[in-house]
Amino acid sequence: MTATRVVAFGGGHGLSASLRALRRCAPELDLDITAVVTVGDDGGSSGRLRAERGGLPPGDLRQALAALAGDHPATRRSAKLFQHRFAEVPPPRADDPSGTVSRLEGPLPHVSGIGRAPSFPQGAGVDGGRGSAGAADRGAGLAGHAVGNLVLCGLMELLGDPVAALEHAGAMLGAVGRVLPMSCEPVGIEARVRGADPRRPDEVRTVTGQHQVAVTTGRVESLRLTPVAPEACPQAVTAIGAADWLIFGPGSWYTSVLPHLLVPQLAAAIVASPARRLVTLNLAAEKETSGLSQADHLAALRAYLPELRVDRVVADSKAAGDPEPVARAAESLGARLVLAPVAVTDGTPRHDPAALGAALVPVLGADR
């Protein structure tokens, strides 16, 4: 029996949740998993590395690799290392310019969880990728960076090929699957946003940069990449053509999911692929999708790739609310709506990888 080849599109925490769910399906369904990851990030650690070193922003790629890391204790530890984020070093005391005494006697910076970013003062250059001179003067070079981002940046410089770098990193983590960039060159994300300035709710302006689009308080009316037609990663195009399933979402719709549809070669490969297509809907709207219903999320897919046909749409039973509008929107794409409890039980809008995996097993394992 041949493996079922699955290609999952996205970035950030949404793609990570999807990949963790697919990993839980993998033994039962014999899945061959490929993640195709957006490369538009310009905020935080990724934005700083992109601005300082060039090349692909590594953060979303790192998260995908960590989600696919093997189960051996050593590889799990390596995955935690990749996700570990450096805390800020306290400034030296006035009576100790070298910082020696304060570092020896003072409390060590505390990181409450592996992979969780510490709090930084405004302007420290972590959240928005723009640092003040004061922050830089305090040695913020490592503060806020994830170890895996630095490793990937180094591998890409060493090997001169982002795909080879990702394959090497995947081997380091014993990855159960493959991670590919949607393009081997970084892209920019721009959006035309109505009401980006709350004082001018009817004004439409261009918001530039993935981070700024993600946190906009207005309504995104259109989206584009810069360059407008970036070259697709050739290995990603090949994987799409050979896939049995193409999976979109969950994730930030405008900055993680839809950008793949704006890469002409990827869009053409998605339309031409004989694979079945599945969309996993988000549990709640984010800032960039404020005011969009779940049905609107599906309509956005069709708006950016009118030829897209979908086979199944998976939505959380509670998050969907009245399922009829969502079912009709799914039918407009040729899909059937599948409702299942896929959220964590603490009430936060996060997918539970075990629950999502359980919901995906009968979908991905069904005969045509």
List pLDDT tens digits, range 18-44.
999 999 988 889 999 999 999 999 999
- Give the span between the Cα atoms of 5 and 295, in whole angstroms: 28
Residue 44, sorted as left (phi over 0), alpha (psi -120 to 50) or beta, turns out to be left
SS3 category, 357: helix
- Give the span between the Cα atoms of 32 and 16, in whole angstroms: 16
Looking at residue 341, what is its pLDDT?
96
- Give the span between the Cα atoms of 55 and 215, in whole angstroms: 24
Handedness of CA 343, 17, 357, 72 (dihedral sign): negative
- Give the span between the Cα atoms of 288 and 218, in whole angstroms: 8
- Give the span between the Cα atoms of 100 and 117, in whole angstroms: 25
The dihedrals phi and psi of 312, each to the nearest 5 degrees, come to: -140, 145
pLDDT band at 325; cut points 50, 70, 90: very high
| Residue 87: other Cβ atoms inside 10 A | 18
pTM of the model: 0.86
Could you say which DSSP state residue 266 is in? H
Handedness of CA 360, 170, 143, 215 (dihedral sign): negative
Looking at residue 353, what is its pLDDT?
95
Mean pLDDT of the chain: 88
pLDDT band at 368; cut points 50, 70, 90: low
73-115 per-position pLDDT tens digit: 999 999 999 999 999 887 777 766 565 544 444 444 443 333 3
Residue with tokens 């793609």: 15
State the DSSP string of 178-217: EEEES-SS--EEEEEEETSSTTSTT-EEEEESHHHHHT-S
For 180-207, what is the mean pLDDT? Answer: 94
- Give the span between the Cα atoms of 291 and 195, in whole angstroms: 12
Residue with tokens 């300035």: 197
SS3 category, 320: coil
Q: Pairing between strand 204-208 and 245-248?
A: unpaired
Between these two residues, 267 and 105, which has the higher pLDDT value? 267
Between these two residues, 202 and 111, which has the higher pLDDT value? 202
- Give the span between the Cα atoms of 168 and 154, in whole angstroms: 11
pLDDT band at 347; cut points 50, 70, 90: confident
